[in-house]
């Protein structure tokens, strides 16, 4: 059975590893990158807490001893379902089963100014671009005598009150207090503003009300200005325009306000649901197809427990990849008793800063906050990172930061400016 897997994220990699060295299975994993990136910690790369290599794992290394998994670097151009073939920049490949695990990208909701000026954080490259920007603004501050420009440079706006927005806001607030005054003693950081804008009536809306309330309190304790029911209308690179008519002068806007699925050409338009997700059945099959599947962030699966689709988180993607691997092996052996997917939520969490985190566990219904939740968050993320070496490096960096209140990786590499990278 020839299986083509598109995407080496949580879903695609879990599927490929579950099929590794399985009898009668031949799998090809296609990704535009040669590494898996641990997206939950991208914000720490952006704020110089971790190196990009700490959260990246070479795809080929994961299959050093594999007899049936092969890897190609390329991007999907089009799916030709009628002839069971996929067209990519690495060539055309035939398949018996095609699995789309293409993940999701930042959703700017069609606003060209935001695309041009705001900083997303969905990839390692984007995290490094943001790190470059954070270095650049303080160096620029030292060069200007314009009072208004100085305030814009010291005003950081984070859009989106989900886990990413909350975590990067908390980290910036801690840098403002413990790191930046040592790096730039000439700058008075009491005037630095970190503003978190959320369009809904609470942050961390996917978590419990207790977690939302507690995380907001933590952010405010750190000095973050949290504004709820606030929608961004536009951003020109110097001023954020809000729907309510207000404006905020800022030279740095971090966009964490939404994502949209990466749907390749060849999927019927009527199957693309809200958030640019592909509609699938309980077996992850794309509706109307017997041999094309979708997993993770790009998949939209309605179940009685999740009538509006599953949350776009790593645990869902991993679980879907695991179940699909079992079903594909059954299909290859001629079996028909396939297992429908059911997501068992083991909980959710987010960190705001040192000894400040929130954890929700659905069964039994429990909520934790503070230091205990923070240690749980760190422990689980260490377990989920691929590679023993990566885990050790992340742990060492965390320990160093804990005792020194410092991020040791504030290196400014010329050539990673956003405009230059985008032009390539």
CATH assignment at residue 133: 3.50.50.100
- Distance separating alpha carbons of residues 37 and 294, to the nearest angstrom: 20
Residues 6+ apart with CB under 8 A from 298: 100, 101, 102, 103, 104, 261, 262, 263, 276, 277, 278
Residue 144 and residue 18 share a domain: no
Residue 371 and residue 237 share a domain: yes
Residue 298 and residue 239 share a domain: no
Residue 225 and residue 176 share a domain: yes
Give pLDDT tens digits for 143-156: 999 999 999 999 99
Is the pLDDT reported for residue 176 higher than 90?
A: yes
Per-residue pLDDT averaged across 27-53, rounded? 94
Residue 121 and residue 198 share a domain: yes
Per-residue pLDDT averaged across 296-301, rounded? 97
Residue 409 and residue 283 share a domain: no
- Distance separating alpha carbons of residues 217 and 223, to the nearest angstrom: 10
Is the pLDDT reported for residue 418 higher than 60?
A: no
Q: Which residues pair with 255 in a beta bridge?
A: 159
CA 334 from centroid of its chain's CA atoms: 37
Is the pLDDT reported for residue 420 higher than 60?
A: no
Answer yes or no: are the C-beta atoms of 27 and 3 closer than 8 Å. yes
Classify residue 211: in a domain, yes or no.
yes
Residue 353 and residue 240 share a domain: yes
Average pLDDT, the chain: 93
Number of domains in the chain: 2
Query: Does residue 9 sit in helix, strand or coil?
Result: coil
DSSP-assigned letter for residue 191: G
Min mean pLDDT across 316-325, 349-358, 388-397 is at 388-397
Give pLDDT tens digits for 178-226: 999 999 999 999 999 999 999 999 999 999 999 999 999 999 999 999 9
Residues 6+ apart with CB under 8 A from 343: 303, 305, 306, 310, 316, 319
Position 422 scores a pLDDT of 46
Would you tell me the crossing angle of helices 163-178 and 209-221 to the nearest 10 degrees?
20
Residue 207 and residue 122 share a domain: yes
DSSP-assigned letter for residue 262: -
Per-residue pLDDT averaged across 287-293, rounded? 95
Greatest C-alpha distance within the chain: 74
Is the pLDDT reported for residue 375 higher than 50?
A: yes
Residue 314 and residue 382 share a domain: no
Residue 204 and residue 246 share a domain: yes
Domain extent for 96:
2-32+74-106+260-332
Residue 295 and residue 417 share a domain: no
Taking the model in full, what pTM does it have?
A: 0.92
Run of H or E including 150? helix 147-153
Residue 34's CB is within 10 A of a number of other CB atoms, namely 14
pLDDT band at 421 (very low <50, low <70, confident <90, very high): very low
Residue 203 and residue 280 share a domain: no
pLDDT band at 405 (very low <50, low <70, confident <90, very high): confident
């Amino acid at each position: 059975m020839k299986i083509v897997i598109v995407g080496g994220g949580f879903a695609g990699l879990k599927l490929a590893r579950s099929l590794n060295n399985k009898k009668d299975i031949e799998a090809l994993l296609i990704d535009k990158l040669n590494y898996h990136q641990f997206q939950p910690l991208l914000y720490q790369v952006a704020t110089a807490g971790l190196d990009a290599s700490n959260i990246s794992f070479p795809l080929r290394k994961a299959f050093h001893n594999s007899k049936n998994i092969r890897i190609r670097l390329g991007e999907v151009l089009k799916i030709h379902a009628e002839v069971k073939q996929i067209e990519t920049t690495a060539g055309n490949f035939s398949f018996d089963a095609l699995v789309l695990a293409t993940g999701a990208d930042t959703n700017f909701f069609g606003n060209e100014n935001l695309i041009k000026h705001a900083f997303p954080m969905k990839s390692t490259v984007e995290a490094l671009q943001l790190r470059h920007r954070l270095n650049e603004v303080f160096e620029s501050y030292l060069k200007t005598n314009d009072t208004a420009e100085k305030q814009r440079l010291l005003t950081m706006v984070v859009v989106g009150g989900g886990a990413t927005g909350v975590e990067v806001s908390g980290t910036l607030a801690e840098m403002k207090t413990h790191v930046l005054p040592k790096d730039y003693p000439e700058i008075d950081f009491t005037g630095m503003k970190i503003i978190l804008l959320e369009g809904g009536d609470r942050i961390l809306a996917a978590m419990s009300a207790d977690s939302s309330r507690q995380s907001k309190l933590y952010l405010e304790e750190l000095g973050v200005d949290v504004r709820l029911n606030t929608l961004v209308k536009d951003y020109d690179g110097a001023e954020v325009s809000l729907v309510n008519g207000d404006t905020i002068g800022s030279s740095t806007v971090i966009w964490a306000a939404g994502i949209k699925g990466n749907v390749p050409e060849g999927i019927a338009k009527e199957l693309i649901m809200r958030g640019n997700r592909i509609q699938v059945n309980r077996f992850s099959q794309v509706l109307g197809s017997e041999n094309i599947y979708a997993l993770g962030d790009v998949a939209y699966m309605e179940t009685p427990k999740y009538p509006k689709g599953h949350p776009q988180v790593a645990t869902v993607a991993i679980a879907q990849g695991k179940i699909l691997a079992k079903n594909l092996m059954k299909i290859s052996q001629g079996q028909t008793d396939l297992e429908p997917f059911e997501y068992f939520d083991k909980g959710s969490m987010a960190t705001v800063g040192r000894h400040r985190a929130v954890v929700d566990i659905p069964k039994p219904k429990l909520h934790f906050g503070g230091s205990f939740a923070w240690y749980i968050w760190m422990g689980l993320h260490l377990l989920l990172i691929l590679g023993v070496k990566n885990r050790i490096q992340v742990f060492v960096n965390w320990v160093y930061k804990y005792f020194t209140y410092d991020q040791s990786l504030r290196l400014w590499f010329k050539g990673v400016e956003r405009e230059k990278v985008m032009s390539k």
